[in-house]
Amino acid sequence: MTLTKDLGVLRTIPLFAKVDPAKLKLLAFTSERLAYVSGDELFHQGDHGDAAYIILEGEADILVDTPTGTIKVASLGKNDIIGEIAILCDVPRTATVVAHGGLEALRVSKEGFFHLVIQFPQVGIEVMSALASKLHDTTQALTEVRARVNELDEGNGDG
Amino acid sequence: MTLTKDLGVLRTIPLFAKVDPAKLKLLAFTSERLAYVSGDELFHQGDHGDAAYIILEGEADILVDTPTGTIKVASLGKNDIIGEIAILCDVPRTATVVAHGGLEALRVSKEGFFHLVIQFPQVGIEVMSALASKLHDTTQALTEVRARVNELDEGNGDG
């Protein structure tokens, strides 16, 4: 993959829409474009987190191991960011990410990510918005499931 | 409250630890220090979000209305950020925040917040880390509650 082609790809990612195209070269040098086939793991729950990923093409399943088995908690697609939690708060990977069909992703190392945000604060705002949006959805889901548990608990109490 | 005193307070907030103290004046001018008594609402679920808050002293309860009643989902304390989701992803307030005892908070307007992050990308990284940490905790809680629902559903099925 030539740098020119990489830059063309980077320009189409909404996360970098507000970055001066001339400066995107920095990212092209600090990121890596990877291809996966269906079933390939981008990373596994419990792994040390050393990079974030942006999906360029395809879909990925987010799987979480629980005491009662593995649950698919989300499905992500083009332009979504994956794996930023582990590099931001130094925790092991909280989920396993698996390619659902063919997948292309941009891998940005932890150091590259922080460098990028310091150089381009607007990218930081986009990442914050994406995190806030995920937190919003997760909090809504948690509230709904907790309400469901309350109902089931009451149901069991009656039975 | 004089600017000098405000700057003294801002310097003690970990979120701003890496900001050049001389530049913190900008924040002192774009933020407001507020005092609440126990039971006062900082904001209410469903409100339009126009500011984020940092707790300077005291504790706040995070309450969410559900079909089966109001649930306390979290308790936040000194140096925690509150209300950043609504200003980052343009959604109504997802929870009600109530002072639990006397509370002092720094209110940063939406515009002030974005200006701050653009001027001081390091603050953006701290906010991202805080968001990622909350997302990590919420995702863990969601996984646990989902596993509990699966157990209860099976229990009901047997009964």
Task: Give the pLDDT confidence of A44-54 residue by residue, as tens digits.
Answer: 999 999 999 99
Q: Which residues of B touch A125 (CB under 8 A)?
A: 88, 114, 117-118, 124
Q: Which of A139, A150, A152, A154 to mutate to test the interface with B (most CBs of B within 10 A)?
A: A139
| A127 contacts B128? CB cut-off 8 A | yes
Rg, Å, chain A Cα set = 18
Closest CA to B125 of A119, A76, A23: A119
Which residues have CB under 8 Å from A96's CB, separation 6+?
Answer: A41, A43, A44, A45, A62, A63, A64, A65, A70
| B66 contacts A136? CB cut-off 8 A | no
pLDDT score at A159: 43
Q: Between vectors from CA B117 to CA A55 and to CA B22, what angle results, nearest 5°?
A: 150
| B152 contacts A88? CB cut-off 8 A | no
b/e string for A62-90 if b means 16 or more Cβ within 10 A? Answer: bbbeeeeeebebbebeeebbbbbbbbbbe
Give tens-digit pLDDT for A39-85. Answer: 999 999 999 999 999 999 999 999 988 877 888 988 999 999 899 99
Segments of chain A with pLDDT less than 70: 1-5, 156-159
Of B32 and B149, the structure prediction assigns the larger pLDDT to B32
H or E stretch including A102? strand A96-109
| A143 contacts B73? CB cut-off 8 A | yes
Residue B159 banded pLDDT, cuts 50, 70, 90: very low
pLDDT score at B82: 92
| B150 contacts A64? CB cut-off 8 A | no
B25, B119 Cβ separation under 8 angstroms? no
Distance from CA of A73 to the nearest CA of B (A): 8
Give tens-digit pLDDT for B118-148. Answer: 988 988 998 999 899 989 998 888 888 888 8
Q: Which residues of B touch A136 (CB under 8 A)?
A: 85, 89, 91, 94
Listed by number, the residues of chain B in 19-78 with a beta carbon closer than 8 Å to a beta carbon of chain A are: 64, 66-68, 71, 73
